[in-house]
Amino acid sequence: MSDEKNFEEKDEKEMMKHDEKVEENDKLSSITWAFILMWAGTVFLANNMGWFSLVGIDVDPNWSFQSFGDWRSSFGVWNLIALGAGAILVLETIARLLIPQFRRNVGGSLIVAAVFIGVGLGGWFNWQYLWPVILIAVGVNILIKGLFSKRKDREE
């Protein structure tokens, strides 16, 4: 029994060291935020240069944020930036799930991505449905974490 306990403690210590290394050298997070900033810069540049109208995309050129009350048939620049940031965060989450050295809890990232995408879609996505879905997602995340976490008090 003591060999099994020593093995579990050693395994837990190795996991903690791995988690600390990942947090210190989390290049994926840096890459994600770099892509979000580059996306924002690209959207602002495309708006200023009139590139959206050249390709037939109707984007409000006033850099305004389109909320539910003033939603028109066009996206605002900030809506487009939020939509892209949400998509980039979803891609980061997928990469974290697929690449073992970058694995960590992704529940928070998914919730932030859902909010960004909801903001980006503005009037097309109704907040009265988004907030309950976010609360359900948080609850499911807490439930899964609670059920599958390794806790010392369970083992004793």
CA angle 86, 149, 141 (to 5 degrees): 30
Q: How far apart are CA 115 and CA 113, in angstroms?
A: 5
Structure tokens belonging to residue 59: 């984007």
39: nearest Cα among 76, 88, 79, 90: 88
Residue 58's alpha-carbon distances to 18, 43, 74, 115, 154, in angstroms, are 47, 13, 5, 23, 57
Does 69 score more than 60 pLDDT? no
Structure tokens belonging to residue 123: 């009037």
Does 91 score more than 90 pLDDT? yes
pLDDT in tens, 9-62: 666 666 666 555 545 568 899 999 999 999 999 999 998 888 888 888 777 766
pLDDT in tens, 55-68: 887 777 666 665 55
Q: What is the pLDDT of residue 3?
A: 60
